[in-house]
């Protein structure tokens, strides 16, 4: 049985086959609409979510399965003090697979250790968000054909933004990827990302504060929201929240084929005027998330063959 805690749990070749499957699902959805008949997905969300939870649920429903779960800690027994390990033990007898989001880093990992069913990390604190990364990679591949030779700008809250951490870890495994890390001084990427992921893998990157300075070089701009819920005080959040606003003037500095991505939800960091720009892909990106989650559910439930490497040593390729 395999779980998904981090994008590194899948090798590059496994990711490729998973994205091939997602693409086939996107092109021929009718071929998949009974594959999960009789199967149940539990969504255990201890933190707010719109896209991740609903796209997991839509994915399971599209596959002919059913869903059950809770969407806040208050409405689960966590409010009574139950541990995630006890919760997952019980859910293992109610469902076949579980997607879990939790404000504590590592909580889905703890759950996976005590689980009788595959657990998918749907976001753990400021740490990782692997299924958003699958969505991002699949979007990039769909639009560019391949994931290589790209200058990628990551802009906003690079400290607390878990989508950024997972995406960097995943992208450094592809050829000729360079990063422009655009953030205020206080919201730079954590040291472990800088040292253990970027420096260790000899990835070219630059940390800078002004989005305008990076714009002309970028092939992809990945905007992120300032993660209010992870700040220790409201004052710092207020100071930082409108640090970046991508608007038409800034878009005018970019290449004609640059892609703007955003995991969403957007607050103020992308002006709504940009939504009509043909380079704005964030809503299409959210739609892609359903297909990769369908592919992931099928894979972890063992309902499709040939996605996982035979040689398990290759996981962290």
Residue nearest ligand NCD by beta-carbon distance:
263
Decide: is 163 part of the binding site for ligand NCD (CB under 6 A). Answer: yes
CA dihedral 206, 209, 212, 214 (to 10 degrees): 10
260 φ, ψ (degrees, to nearest 5): -100, 125
Query: Distance between CA atoms of 176 and 173, rounded to whole angstroms?
Result: 9
| x/- map, 198-237, ligand NCD, by CB under 6 A | --------------------------xx------------
- Regarding 39 and contact with ligand NCD (CB under 6 A), the answer is no
| 162 near ligand NCD, rule: CB under 6 A | yes
Query: How far apart are CB 161 and ligand NCD at their closest, in Å?
Result: 6
The answer to the question of residue 288 lying near ligand NCD (CB under 6 A) is no
Q: Is 266 in the site for ligand NCD (CB under 6 A)?
A: no
Nearer to ligand NCD, 97 or 167 (CB): 167
Tokens representing 113? 């250790």
Cβ-based neighbour number of residue 278 at 10 Å:
8
129 contributes a contact to ligand NCD by CB under 6 A: yes
Closer to ligand NCD by Cβ: residue 43 or 224: 224
Residue 173's DSSP bridge partners are none
Count interface residues toward ligand NCD (CB under 6 A): 12
Considering only 123, 125, 130, 153, the residue that binds ligand NCD (CB under 6 A) is 123
Residue closer to ligand NCD (CB basis): 127 or 141? 127
Q: Which is nearer to ligand NCD, 139 or 224 (CB)?
A: 224
Q: Is 6 in the site for ligand NCD (CB under 6 A)?
A: no
Residue 103: CB partners within 8 Å, gap ≥ 6? 46, 47, 73, 124, 125, 229
What minimum distance in Å lies between the beta carbon of 163 and ligand NCD? 5
The yes-or-no answer on residue 129 being catalytic is yes
- Any contact of residue 263 with ligand NCD (CB under 6 A)? yes
* Ramachandran sector of residue 261 (left: φ over 0; alpha: ψ -120 to 50; beta: rest): beta
Active site residue 51: yes
Of 11, 43, 52, 151, the one binding ligand NCD (CB under 6 A) is 52
Among 51, 102, 225, 293, the active-site one is 51
Query: What are the catalytic residues?
Result: 51-52, 80, 101, 129
Site residues (CB under 6 A) for ligand NCD? Answer: 51-52, 123, 129, 132, 162-163, 224-225, 263-265
């Amino acid at each position: 049985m395999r779980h998904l805690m981090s994008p590194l749990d899948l090798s590059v070749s496994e990711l490729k086959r998973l994205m091939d499957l997602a693409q086939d699902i996107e092109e021929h959805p009718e071929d998949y609409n009974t594959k999960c008949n009789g199967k149940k997905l539990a969504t255990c969300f201890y933190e707010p979510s719109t896209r991740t939870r609903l796209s997991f649920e839509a994915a399971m429903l599209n596959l002919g399965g059913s869903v059950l779960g809770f969407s806040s800690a208050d409405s689960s027994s966590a409010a009574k003090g139950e541990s995630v390990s006890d919760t997952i033990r019980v859910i293992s007898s109610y469902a076949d697979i579980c997607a879990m989001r939790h404000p504590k880093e590592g909580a889905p990992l703890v759950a996976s250790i005590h689980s009788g069913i595959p657990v998918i990390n749907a976001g753990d604190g400021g740490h990782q968000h692997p299924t958003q990364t699958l969505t991002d990679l699949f979007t990039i591949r769909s639009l560019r054909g391949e994931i290589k030779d790209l200058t990628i700008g990551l802009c906003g809250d690079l400290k607390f933004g878990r989508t950024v951490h997972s995406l960097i870890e995943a992208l450094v495994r592809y050829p000729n990827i360079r990063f422009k890390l655009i953030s205020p001084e206080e919201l730079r990427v954590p040291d472990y990302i800088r040292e253990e992921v970027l420096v260790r893998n000899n990835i070219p990157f630059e940390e800078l504060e002004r989005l305008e300075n990076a714009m002309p070089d970028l092939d992809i701009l990945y905007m992120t929201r300032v993660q209010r819920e992870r700040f220790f005080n409201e004052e710092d959040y207020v100071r930082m929240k409108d640090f970046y606003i991508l608007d038409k003037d800034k878009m005018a500095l970019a290449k004609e084929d640059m892609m703007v991505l955003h995991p969403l939800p957007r607050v103020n960091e992308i002006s709504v005027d940009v939504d009509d720009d043909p380079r704005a892909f964030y809503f299409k990106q959210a739609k892609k998330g359903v297909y990769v989650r369908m592919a992931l559910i099928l894979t972890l439930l063992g309902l499709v063959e040939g996605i996982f490497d035979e040689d398990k040593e290759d996981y962290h390729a």
